[in-house]
């Protein structure tokens, strides 16, 4: 009697269901680079959906691919992708699978961001006040409404106009017409000043991202804690100089404690913030890829590795794939210390698509979970300004400048809001 062959179907991050495949076929496609390990897989006929990376049958092959043992042939991978059969997703006994992230506990909060006492053991406190579930229903959140302006020159029908005020009214009308062009000119001028005044590298030179070297002598727990506290404080200031300082400290920690996943993910986050000031050449891309690969090789299913993966994709312009990685990680039911970073990235990717209304609550959630990190707060203020919600923008920026009075971008944005 012949052996019954196990078959599988695979659902990509774009929602396509492909297959069926044999176990051997999936192993071969992992080796060829068709599957990265983030896709969902189900055993036919009635298996449950789970990530490929969590199936023991494929775990070793994924590790080989991450460690570079398997040579990826892009042409062969593209050919196998083109020959893939797309089918309807199977329904399980418990009902059709949905990827809405309904189990995500978005009402939890992490006050103050990553804990400096126990960075690896953060817990989420339930927020008693009603909060927006930004993962389940951001599309239902309406953008802030802007009431129509009423000028002092609005005249009710049937009222009498005093001819002595005609010249004054004409002057007001001219000022109103010129206000728009002057505002645009002021914004351009202020942005130009900011670009010249920005805290980038001296003399406008671009930098190279700093890659961790070979492991040195092991750091004591006290040294790791001290350097981590300093790196977190530097990140929270959200300036070029502070991110550069954080990069140096995080690299030194990794060289003394190379398996610390959280520190590695923080370094990837810093790389993302330094990217606009980097040379962005092959060397910088290799640095990010190396740290990402090393982090995922330590634990392929860790969300910290997915933070690095998202950074790698965004810095190479693969925004659609980056959004898929971020959303797949946010679907996890267990919170972790860098959850606010993923909310910030989700908001940034939505804003990149000009979906400002849905980006706002994600920035708000990121700022709530790590309130000392100024980056999502400044980005939120920028969105408010783009929506002409200057009162909200001003309130956010005042909080930023209270924490860091030297934050240059916040100063410029504050000037714009005060002018309007």
For the chain, domains (ranges, CATH) are 7-82 (3.30.1490), 185-419 (1.25.40.10)
| CA distance linking residue 373 with residue 377, whole number of Å | 8
DSSP 3-state assignment of 93?
coil
* Both tokens assigned to 236: 């929270």
CA distances to 320, 349, 370 from 314, rounded to whole Å, are: 9, 9, 22
Q: What is the DSSP letter of 34?
A: S
Q: What letter does residue 278 receive in the DSSP assignment?
A: B
Count of other CB atoms within 10 angstroms of residue 55:
16
User: In whole angstroms, what separates CA 344 from the centre of its chain?
Assistant: 4
Which pLDDT value is given to residue 26?
Answer: 84
Q: Please give the pLDDT value at position 328.
A: 92
Alpha-carbon distance of 62 to 207, in angstroms, equals 33
Which residues share a beta bridge with 43?
Answer: 8
Closest CA to 207 of 257, 244, 258: 244
Query: In angstroms, how far apart are the furthest CA atoms of the chain?
Result: 107
Task: Tell me if 403 sits within 8 A of 376, measured CB to CB.
Answer: no
C-alpha gyration radius of the chain: 26
Query: Residue 208: which region, alpha, beta or left (left: phi > 0; alpha: psi -120 to 50)?
Result: beta
pTM over 0.85: no
Distance of CA 150 to the CA centre of its chain: 39
pLDDT of residue 25: 87
Size of the chain, expressed as the number of residues it contains: 420
Q: Could you give the CA distance from residue 224 to residue 325 in angstroms, rounded to a whole number?
A: 29
Contacts of 124 (CB under 8 A, 6+ apart): 105, 108, 109, 110, 335
**How far apart are alpha carbons 77 and 293 in whole angstroms?**
20
Burial status of residue 403 (CB atoms within 10 A of its CB: 0-12, 13-18, 19 or more): middle
Give the SS3 label for residue 8: strand
Q: Which two tokens stand for residue 342?
A: 């993923």
pLDDT tens track, the chain, 420 positions: 445 677 888 888 777 788 888 888 888 888 887 877 778 888 877 777 877 877 777 777 777 777 665 555 556 555 555 555 555 544 444 444 433 333 333 444 444 456 555 444 444 343 443 443 433 433 333 333 333 333 334 434 443 444 444 445 544 554 454 455 555 555 555 555 454 444 555 556 899 999 999 877 788 888 899 999 999 999 999 999 999 999 999 999 999 999 999 999 999 999 999 999 999 999 999 999 999 999 999 998 899 999 999 999 999 999 999 999 999 999 875 788 999 999 999 999 999 999 999 999 999 999 999 999 999 999 999 999 988 889 999 999 999 999 999 999 999 998 888 876
* DSSP code, position 333: S
């Amino acid at each position: 009697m012949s052996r019954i062959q196990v078959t599988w179907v695979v659902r990509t991050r774009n929602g396509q269901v492909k297959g069926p495949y044999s176990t051997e076929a999936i192993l071969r496609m992992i080796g060829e680079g068709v599957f990265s390990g983030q896709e969902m897989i189900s055993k036919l006929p009635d298996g449950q959906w789970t990530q490929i990376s969590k199936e023991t049958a494929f775990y070793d092959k994924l590790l080989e691919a991450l460690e570079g043992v398997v040579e990826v042939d892009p042409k062969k991978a593209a050919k196998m992708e083109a020959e893939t059969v797309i089918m309807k997703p199977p329904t399980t006994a418990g009902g059709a699978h949905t990827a809405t992230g309904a189990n995500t506990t978005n009402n939890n909060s992490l006050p103050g961001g990553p804990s400096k006492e126990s960075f690896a053991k953060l817990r989420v406190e339930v927020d008693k006040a009603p909060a927006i579930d930004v993962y389940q229903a951001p599309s239902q959140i309406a953008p802030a409404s802007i009431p129509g302006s009423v000028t002092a020159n609005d005249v009710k029908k049937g009222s009498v106009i005093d001819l002595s005020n005609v010249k004054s009214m004409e002057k007001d009308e001219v000022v109103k017409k010129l206000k728009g062009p002057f505002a645009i000119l002021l914004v351009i001028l202020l942005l130009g000043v900011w670009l010249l005044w920005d805290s980038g590298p001296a003399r406008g030179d671009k930098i190279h991202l700093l890659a961790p070297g070979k492991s040195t002598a092991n750091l004591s727990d006290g040294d790791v804690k001290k350097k981590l506290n300093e790196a977190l404080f530097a990140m929270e200031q959200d300036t070029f100089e502070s991110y550069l300082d954080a990069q140096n400290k995080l690299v030194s920690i990794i060289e003394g404690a190379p398996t610390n996943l959280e520190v590695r993910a923080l370094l990837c986050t810093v790389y993302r913030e330094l990217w606009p000031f980097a040379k962005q050449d092959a060397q910088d891309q290799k640095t990010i890829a190396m740290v990402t690969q090393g982090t995922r090789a330590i634990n392929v299913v860790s969300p910290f590795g997915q933070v690095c993966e998202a950074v790698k994709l965004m810095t190479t312009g693969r925004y659609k794939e980056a959004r898929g990685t971020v959303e797949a990680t946010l679907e996890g039911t267990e919170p972790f210390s860098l959850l606010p970073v993923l909310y910030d990235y989700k908001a940034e990717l939505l804003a990149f698509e000009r979906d400002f209304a849905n980006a706002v609550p994600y920035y708000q959630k990121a700022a709530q979970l790590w309130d000392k990190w100024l980056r999502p707060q400044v980005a939120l203020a920028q969105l408010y300004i783009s929506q002409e919600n200057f009162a909200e923008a001003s309130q956010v920026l005042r909080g930023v400048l209270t924490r860091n009075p030297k934050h240059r971008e916040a100063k410029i944005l504050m000037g714009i809001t005060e002018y309007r």
